[in-house]
Chains A and B, each alone.
Chain A
Amino acid sequence: MLSEFGNFLLAMGLGFASLQVLASTWGVYNKNQRYLTLGRTAAFFQGGFLSGAFLTLIIAFLLCDFSLILVSLHDHTQLPWYYRMAASWGNHEGSLLLFILILSGMAVAQAIFLKDPLFRARALTSQGFLILLFLFFLIMTSNPFTLLPFILSEGKSLNPLLQDRGLLVHPPLLYLGYVGFSAPFSLAIAALWGEERGPEWARLTRPWALFSWSALTAGITLGSWWAYYELGWGGWWFWDPVENASFMPWLAGTALLHTLRTGQLYRWSLFLSLLTFGLSLLGTFLVRSGLITSIHSFAQDPEKGLYILCLLGLIMGVAFFVWIWKSPRLQTQSLELMSRNGALFVNSLFFCLGLGTVFLGTFYPLLSDYVWGKTVAIGAPYFERTFIPLMLPLLILLPVGCLFREKNESGLRLLMAPLTAVLGAIVLILYHLYPLSLWAFTGIVASVWVIGGTAVAYKQARLSLGPTLAHIGVGLSLLGVSVGGGLRTDEMGILGLGESLSMGGTALTLQNVQQGKEGTYLYERVLLSYETHQISPEKRLYKPQDMLMSKTAIHTNGFRDLYVILGPYQGNNRWLIRASIIPLAPWVWIGGFFMVLGGVVSILGRVRVWEKKPSSANKRASFPRRREPRKTLAAWLLGSRLGGNDARGGCKWIIVFFLLLSSPLFAATSLEKRAAILYQEVRCPICLGQSIADSETDESQALKTFILEKLQHGESEEDIREKLRHLMGDDILLRPPFEDHTLFLWVAPFGLFLLIGLGVGWKVLRSLAHKKGA
């Protein structure tokens, strides 16, 4: 029964979506108000029917209607109701219906919020086309309401990895982000079609882009949080194709968001709008199609890959054709490079460069496989070596750009660049003094720089609250990632009852083991005590798939996570336990939350906490307004003398302050930790490919003892490295400190920065000479 009803609703949705497209197009060509209104009404109707269809699917899942193929494949009567509901979008067909639902939701929102009837009709045409294409695809190839010729008494249940509360909201949020970018896409098509004016379009599109961006950010944050606690080794980003697929539209969307501040970058913003949605489609579907190997592709269906690729090609082909055809006719204002908007443009270029490397790394294996017939994999090291060096200059420029004036920036502010170079030098020096991985330390300094600079920009009223929060979020996430990644400790041990493992000087003791049954699984739970806390990792055996899953246990105090996972039973009442202490891990997601919050605040308007910002658009920049500096926490901490108008001074002091604050973190590095970091660098003489930290051979044990002894005698890391190199040859160190290509990698970001600095300096000199001549 539900099947027929669902099919009926889908068909009605298809009909009204066609009506929406036809009536809107007709109305635009004849300038006929009645057809325009008809198109708008049709949008409401198709929205209603498609929501009905999705609701029907959810009801089928909640009621466990096993007459539907989809329900019998993914549902189970023993699942709690919320997992039964989540199962409806945890598969290919259901997720596609969710995709269409959001497309039509965006159409309804456009019908409500867009005021200009012609512009609205054009946007609705584009959006309606998207709905039609995907609805056709759904009905022809993957109808969720297909009937099973017989009725089963029990379903095959939801993949146990997806049986998780975080995952209830993660896919809908991510989809809201992906598909939400269809709105800027349609608005861009409408603008190209109607040859709208830039500034109005940018102002109009901003909330839509902000909305999708916030949803996508929230979705990615939740996904990475899920990976962190569910996948069992405490990492948050794997550079897996599925993750990259969500990251690419995020990068393009972030670039778009920054260009939408102004109408000066009109054509570029239009291009980015099209690109972002194109990447969303590519991400959602190419990975779904199974063409790319990923460790987590759920809801896959390889057969439909080609069809999807054609669909994608069609949509993007038409969109970019329209852009190439129409955009030269659009009016744009000229852009001054040395201004806030110029800085935003440079920012978007950086994002696009980063996007390019991620794109290449994600799709190169596919290319290599089809063109050269070689199967290759590209993992985290590739992205760490390309994406991060490219983003580092962006992070360094971030506060500088925020401080730029609207017009006629003198370029003096870029004097901060040398300051940055000095900071870079400090990084390198400290790296040699303290045994901390270079990336971790660079990350810490960069995040301090970003947070400090953002605070100063906010204080000087150059940033409103939304962007400030988002940029602080970037800094917090970066801090979490670099500290958590660089200073984590992992221990593994086999424990019997009452035995304990030493974690950072504190004992992790195995207290008790329980077994039992709950819902769809049987469990074995180990109770461990750490300080005064109890934590209990589990192993679960899920029915009916007979899948064994580990449930990690995490204890957090906001500044560090204790992360424990239960390994296999070792016999004799002993269990293998792996525990990690990850400092600042929660900040990764707190940062993500701040970014989302920033997005939301920006949508709600330029909310200011302390003072109303007077409009600065028509002020002459050469006479900067005297303004009472806003009191920020940083200004308060530094005293009124330092919290003055001088941005560079403020920034500098905040950074010095943060560096001082964080220095005990490095000074307190214990002997064992210093040794452990050195172990990572030394190659095991027997297994060659591994460091002695990972190797169990006698030779590496001997080397470990040697290193520890030397450290205890007070020798520095560099001395020990030199000794090892002398004794065992250059190859003994896994990471030769400075050599041809590594040198290039270390230096490239700074080099890039220097080049930009030189270019700007040249430009400033030229403009000075020009002024004198005039």
Chain B
Amino acid sequence: MKPKHQRLFLICSALMGLGIAGSLVLVAFQDTLVFFYTPSDLLQKNISPQQRIRVGGLVDMDSPQQRGENVHFKITDQKETIMVSYHGILPDLFREGQGVVAEGYLMNPTHFQAESVLAKHDENYMPREVAEGLREQCK
């Protein structure tokens, strides 16, 4: 094979690879991108129960209730609160009054079914989205 053809072949296959990677990325972006909302956003925006989203804020004081394998708690941004249910064991750093991010589905405007709950591994931590969301709410 002449070097010229070889180069052509290489460039073609590289472009093809890039194209495939690009389309994979685009397709994945369409379905797997998860948007972040604060409890106030949830009231304003119409979010379908099929869309996977993240909700962040502070865990409302005295709200966590463990009922067997299910946990219910409220996430607040100091203006609005939303009820969150979760099946399983909460992460160790989940605490009242601390920042938390829940990922899952909004069943109806007041009830959120979480599939995962993220609390950070640092006692002083506040997720950046939560901090910014709270800052905007306080304005």
Q: Which residues of A does B touch, CB under 8 Å?
A: 159, 161, 231-232, 290, 293, 295-298, 300, 334-338, 346, 349-350, 353, 356-357, 360-361, 364, 374-379, 381-382, 385-386, 389-390, 492-494, 545, 547-550, 565, 567-568, 570, 576, 578, 687-690, 694, 696, 741, 744-745, 748, 751-752, 755-756, 759, 763, 766-767, 770
25 contacts between A and B (CB under 8 A): A232-B89, A232-B91, A298-B122, A349-B13, A350-B17, A375-B132, A377-B33, A381-B28, A382-B29, A385-B32, A386-B21, A386-B24, A386-B25, A390-B21, A492-B89, A494-B68, A548-B92, A550-B92, A570-B66, A687-B113, A689-B52, A741-B27, A745-B27, A751-B20, A752-B20
Say yes or no: A547 contacts B27, CB within 8 Å: no
- Chain B residues with CB under 8 Å of chain A are 1, 3, 5-6, 9-10, 12-14, 16-18, 20-21, 23-25, 27-36, 49-52, 54, 66, 68-70, 87-89, 91-93, 103-105, 107, 113, 115, 118, 120-123, 127-129, 132
Chain A neighbourhood of B104, CB < 8 A? 689
C-alpha gap A689/B51 in the complex (Å): 7
Contact status B129-A375, CB under 8 Å: yes
List the count of A-B residue pairs having beta carbons below 8 Å apart.
Answer: 161
Contacts A378-B34, A565-B89 given: A357-B49 contact, CB under 8 Å? no
Docked-complex contact A578 and B127, CB < 8 angstroms: no
Q: Shortest beta-carbon distance, A159 to chain B, in Å?
A: 6
Which 6 A/B pairs are nearest by Cβ-Cβ distance?
A689-B105, A375-B36, A381-B32, A385-B28, A382-B32, A567-B89
| Extra A-B contacts (18), CB below 8 Å, given A356-B21, A763-B9 | A295-B121, A296-B121, A335-B6, A350-B17, A353-B17, A361-B25, A377-B34, A377-B103, A576-B66, A576-B68, A687-B113, A688-B49, A688-B105, A690-B115, A741-B27, A741-B31, A759-B9, A767-B1
Give the docked Cα–Cα distance between A386 and B16 (Å): 15
A211 shortest CB reach to chain B, Å = 30
Q: How far is the CA of A756 from the CA of B94 in the complex (A)?
A: 50
Within the assembled complex, what's the spacing in Å between the Cα atoms of A568 and B14? Answer: 53
- A349 B17 Cβ-Cβ under 8 A: yes
Please give, as numbers and ranges, the residues of chain B lying within 8 Å of A694 by CB-CB distance: 87, 115
Q: Smallest CB–CB gap between A234 and chain B, Å?
A: 12
Q: Which residues in B have their C-beta under 8 angstroms from that of A565?
A: 89
Q: Which of B21, B49, B51, B123 is packed against the most chain A CB atoms within 10 Å?
A: B21
8 Å CB contact of B118 from A295, A545, A570, A741: A295
Complex Cα distance, B31 from A134, in Å, reads: 41
Give Cα distance in the complex from A646 to B113, angstroms.
Answer: 57
On whether the beta carbons of B36 and A759 are closer than 8 Å, the reply is no
A290 to B14, CA, bound (A): 35
Tell whether A547 pairs with B33 under 8 Å between CB atoms, given A295-B118, A298-B121, A689-B104: no
Contact of B127 with A748 in the complex, beta carbons under 8 Å: no
Q: Most chain-B Cβ atoms within 10 A of its Cβ — which of A159, A386, A389?
A: A386
Taken together as a complex, chains A and B put the C-alpha atoms of A357 and B54 apart, in Å, by 22
Say whether B18 contacts A353, CB under 8 Å: yes
A232 touches B18 (CB 8 A): no
Q: Is the CB of A545 within 8 A of B24?
A: no
Measured CB to CB, the nearest residue on chain B to A296 is: B121
Could you tell me the distance between the alpha carbons of A690 and B127 in the complex, rounded to whole angstroms? 26
Which of B29, B51, B69 has a CB less than 8 Å from the CB of A492?
B69
A116 → chain B closest CB, angstroms:
32
| A745 and B113 contact, CB distance less than 8 A | no
A381:B17 contact, CB within 8 angstroms: no
Tell whether, in the assembled complex, residue B12 and residue A382 are in contact, meaning their CB atoms are under 8 Å apart. Answer: no
Let me know if A576 and B105 touch, CB within 8 A. no
Asked if A568 and B89 sit within 8 Å, CB to CB, the answer is yes
Chain B residues, Cβ within 8 Å of A231: 91
Q: Is the CB of A390 within 8 A of B24?
A: yes
